[in-house]
Amino acid sequence: MLKRYQILLNDWLANHYKDAAKKNDVSFSEMIRMALCNDLLQAAGHAFPKHRVKIDRRKIAAIMKAQQLKEAMHDVEFHKLLSQIYFESRKAAELWNTNKPDAD
């Protein structure tokens, strides 16, 4: 379920995500969700190194570097990847909320 929130962004940050959304043919909100989920996966990977994410981070990194998500894959693959990112991010958030990060 999606909820509406109002957030304040610096002009440069909003412009960056607006440009990225336009390049990837997604809405601004979708772009923000993707970025937040990707950041959560990255942070959880550092905080919980034993936690295995069932998504190929190299694939995500390669696609993000290309900044052309929809051109890098077919629409069906694109939406499947988004679903995987959202699912894995939700699991990472639940892990973070119920556990303490691993000690170094």
pLDDT digits over 36-68, tens only? 998 898 888 888 888 888 877 677 766 666 655
Neighbours of 42 (CB within 10 A): 15
* Spatial contact of 44 and 96, defined as CB atoms under 8 Å apart: yes
Distance separating alpha carbons of residues 1 and 55, to the nearest angstrom: 22
CA 99 to chain centre: 21
Q: Say which residue, 101 or 30, is predicted with more confidence.
A: 30
Q: Name which residue leads in pLDDT, 75 or 12.
A: 12
- Quote the pTM value: 0.79
Q: Given this model, what pLDDT does residue 18 score?
A: 95
